[in-house]
Amino acid sequence: MLFSFCAFNNGTPFLGYVDHVGTTFEDDTLATGYGAYLARGILRDGWRPDLTEEEARNLLQKSLQVLFYRDARTINSVQIGKADKDGVTISEPFSVPAVWPIFESWK
């Protein structure tokens, strides 16, 4: 079991991770499970300290889309959470766009 979390430390936001044996770390990007292998690189490449909320959401959607293509039998419905000094908000569920052009010729 592992936990990823976001919090504020003296007014500064951070992302953290702790696993079942107590391994902890903080970083600017975080992904768990299969996302740690596929999405983390996308997140690291696209992250910068001055990302707007829209840019951050687009970056998340891009990484989620890659994960969905890799595991096509999963559900592509997700929610995005946002934590800031004003609290936490969680989006309504939405579908990650999926385009499967190779299958169009099979119709």
- Quick one: which of 27, 60, 58 has its CA closest to 43? 60
- Residues of the chain with pLDDT > 90, as a percent, come to 39
In this predicted structure, the answer to whether residue 73 has a pLDDT above a threshold of 80 is no
Number of residues that this document lists for the chain: 107
**What is the model's pLDDT at position 68?**
86
Report the predicted TM-score, pTM, of the whole model to 2 decimal places. Answer: 0.80
Considering just the CA atoms, what is the radius of gyration of the chain in Å? 16
Q: What six digits make up the tokens of 31?
A: 């992904």
Q: Is 37:53 a contact under the CB 8 Å cutoff?
A: no
Enumerate residues 6+ apart whose C-beta is below 8 A from 94.
77, 78, 79
The average pLDDT across 59-63 equals 92
Query: What type of residue sits at position 42?
Result: I
Higher pLDDT, 1 or 23: 23
CA distance 84 to 44: 20
Place of tokens 């891009």: 62
